C-alpha cells in the first residue's frame, strides 16, 4: 500500500513538472517571436510591436558576458547624436539615425575591410582616437581567411563561420572602446549569395534571443546582372533583412579595378557611371518595402590605387541623381532634397576634392581597403628595417653573440607596428571624410596596466 501511495505521488510530481515546462515553453515562445513576423525593437516603423516587451530581450555584450564596463564603455549616449546611437554594434533605427545624421551634417563614415582580429582592433582604436563612429566590414575572402585558410569552404561554410566569428569579436570589444560600430559585409556577387544567406540565418537566430540581428548590414552586389534582376533580388533580400533591422547596401553600376578576386579592370567605361534614371528605378522599387537601404552608385569608382589621371571620378552624378529623384517625388521629397544615402566605393587613393564633393551629395559611407592593406604591411616593413639585425636568429645580435632576440620576434611586436601604422592612415581617412569629433567624448586617456612582450614593449 505504501509503495502504491508513493508511486501516485511520484506520478503527480512528474505531471506537474511537465505542465510547468509546457507553460514556460509557451511563455518563451511568445517572447521570442519569429523574426519573419516581427520588426525589431530598433526599427518598429509602421509596427504595433510592444517595445517594452522586446526591449527586455536586448542586453549589452558586457552585461551578457559579465565583462567590466566602465568609463566610456558605460556611456549611455552621445551629446550631439540621436539618442538611439550608443556604444557597440548598431542595427535597425539606430543605424538609420546615425547614417541620416551623417548625411545631414556633411560627413561620411570610413568602412574598413578587416581580415583579422588585429585589423579590427586597429579600426576600433582609430575610431576612438578620432572620436567617431566606424564601419567594420568583411568580404567573403576576408571571412574565409578569418576562419582559417585550411578549412574547407564548400558551400561557403568557412566564410560563414569566419564572418560570424569576426562579428562576435567586434560585438565584444566595440562597447569597450566606447564607439558606435556598423558591422557590415562587403561585395556579394550572385554566386556568393549562399554566403549571405548563411549570415542572415545567423542574424535571425541571434535576433530571436537578443532582439537585434548579429550583423548591421549586408551588401548585395549584382551590378554585373541585368538591372531588372538586380532590383528584384534586392527587393527579396530587403524584405527579409528589414524585418530584423538589417540594412541593405545594393550596387548599381560597376566599380572598376580588382579586389578580393573580382577583376573589373576591363569593363566598358560606360559601366563605371550610373544614370539618374537607374538610381530612381532602384529608389522607387525599394522604398515601399523599407527605407533601410543605401545605394553604391558608380561614378567612376575603381578599387585599388592607380597613377594620377588614370581614374576619373564624377561625383556630380550623385548630385544630379538626388535632384532628379527629388523632382520625381515632388512634395514628398525630403527637405534637404537628398532622398538617397549613397556609398563611395574604391575610396583608397581618391583625390580629396572628389571625396569632399561627394559628402555634399549624400555619401554617408566610404570604403577603404587597399590603403589599409598597405599601411598594415608598411608598419611591419618599417619594423623589420628598424630591428633587422635583431631578427636574423633566436640568439645573437649587435649587442653580443649570446644575446636573445625573443622580444624582437615576438609576433605581437610586428603586429602592433602594423596596427599603429593603420591607425595613423585611418586618421587621414577620418579627416578627409570630416568624421572627427562626432561623438563628443574628447581625447582618449592613456590606458593603464597595459601588458606587452616581456611586460614592456619595443619603441616602434
* Active site (catalytic) residues: 186
173 half-sphere exposure, CB direction, 13 A CA radius: 19
DSSP state of 446: P
Residue whose entry in the numeric block shows the C-alpha cell 524584405: 239
Asked whether 42 and 212 are in contact (CB, 8 A), the reply is: yes
Q: Is the dihedral of CA 287, 291, 296, 297 positive or negative?
A: positive
CA dist 27 to 1, 37, 38, Å?
40, 17, 16
Cβ density class 18-38: b for 16+ within 10 Å, e for less: eeeeeeeeeeeeeebbebeeb
R_g (Cα) of the chain, nearest Å: 25
CA dist 115 to 69, 97, 133, 141, 177, Å?
27, 28, 20, 8, 19
Of the candidates 161, 137, 139, the one whose C-alpha atom is nearest the C-alpha of residue 150 is 161
Of the candidates 75, 62, 92, 40, the one whose C-alpha atom is nearest the C-alpha of residue 210 is 40
Amino acid at each position: 500500500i505504501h509503495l502504491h501511495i508513493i508511486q501516485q505521488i511520484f506520478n503527480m510530481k512528474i505531471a506537474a513538472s511537465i505542465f510547468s515546462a509546457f507553460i514556460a515553453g509557451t511563455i518563451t515562445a511568445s517572447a521570442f517571436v519569429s523574426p519573419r513576423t516581427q520588426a525589431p525593437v530598433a526599427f518598429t516603423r509602421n509596427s504595433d510591436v510592444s517595445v517594452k516587451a522586446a526591449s527586455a530581450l536586448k542586453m549589452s555584450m558586457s552585461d551578457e558576458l559579465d565583462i567590466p564596463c566602465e568609463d566610456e564603455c558605460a556611456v549611455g549616449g552621445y551629446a550631439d547624436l540621436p539618442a538611439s546611437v550608443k556604444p557597440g554594434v548598431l542595427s535597425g533605427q539606430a543605424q538609420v539615425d546615425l547614417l541620416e545624421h551623417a548625411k545631414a551634417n556633411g560627413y561620411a563614415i570610413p568602412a574598413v575591410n578587416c581580415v583579422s582580429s588585429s585589423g579590427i582592433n586597429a579600426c576600433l582604436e582609430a575610431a576612438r582616437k578620432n572620436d567617431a563612429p566606424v564601419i567594420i566590414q568583411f568580404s567573403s575572402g576576408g571571412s574565409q581567411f578569418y576562419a582559417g585558410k585550411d578549412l574547407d569552404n564548400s558551400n561557403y561554410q568557412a566564410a560563414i563561420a569566419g564572418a560570424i566569428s569576426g562579428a562576435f569579436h567586434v560585438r565584444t570589444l566595440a562597447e569597450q572602446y566606447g564607439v558606435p560600430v556598423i558591422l557590415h559585409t562587403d561585395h556579394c556577387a550572385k554566386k556568393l549569395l549562399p554566403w549571405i544567406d548563411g549570415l542572415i540565418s545567423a542574424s535571425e537566430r541571434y535576433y530571436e534571443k537578443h532582439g537585434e540581428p548579429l550583423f548591421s548590414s549586408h551588401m548585395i552586389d549584382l551590378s554585373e546582372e541585368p538591372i531588372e534582376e538586380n532590383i528584384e533580388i534586392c527587393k527579396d533580400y530587403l524584405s527579409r533583412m528589414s524585418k530584423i533591422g538589417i540594412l541593405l547596401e545594393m550596387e548599381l553600376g560597376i566599380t572598376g579595378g580588382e579586389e578580393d578576386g573580382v577583376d573589373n579592370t576591363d569593363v566598358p567605361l560606360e559601366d563605371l557611371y550610373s544614370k539618374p534614371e537607374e538610381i530612381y528605378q532602384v529608389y522607387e522599387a525599394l522604398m515601399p518595402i523599407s527605407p533601410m537601404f543605401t545605394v553604391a552608385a558608380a561614378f567612376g569608382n575603381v578599387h585599388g590605387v592607380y597613377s594620377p589621371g588614370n581614374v576619373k571620378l564624377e561625383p556630380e552624378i550623385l548630385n544630379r541623381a538626388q535632384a532628379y529623384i527629388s523632382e520625381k517625388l515632388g512634395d514628398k521629397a525630403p527637405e534637404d532634397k537628398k532622398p538617397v544615402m549613397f556609398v563611395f566605393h574604391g575610396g583608397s587613393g581618391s583625390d580629396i576634392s572628389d571625396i569632399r564633393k561627394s559628402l555634399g551629395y549624400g555619401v554617408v559611407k566610404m570604403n577603404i581597403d587597399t590603403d589599409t592593406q598597405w599601411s598594415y604591411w608598411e608598419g611591419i616593413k618599417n619594423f623589420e628595417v628598424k630591428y633587422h639585425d635583431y631578427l636574423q636568429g633566436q640568439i645573437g645580435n649587435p649587442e653580443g653573440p649570446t644575446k636573445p632576440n625573443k622580444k624582437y620576434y615576438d609576433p605581437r611586436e610586428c603586429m602592433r607596428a602594423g596596427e599603429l601604422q593603420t591607425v595613423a592612415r585611418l586618421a587621414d581617412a577620418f579627416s578627409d571624410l570630416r568624421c572627427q569629433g562626432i561623438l563628443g567624448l574628447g581625447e582618449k586617456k592613456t590606458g593603464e596596466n597595459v601588458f606587452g612582450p616581456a611586460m614592456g614593449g619595443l619603441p616602434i
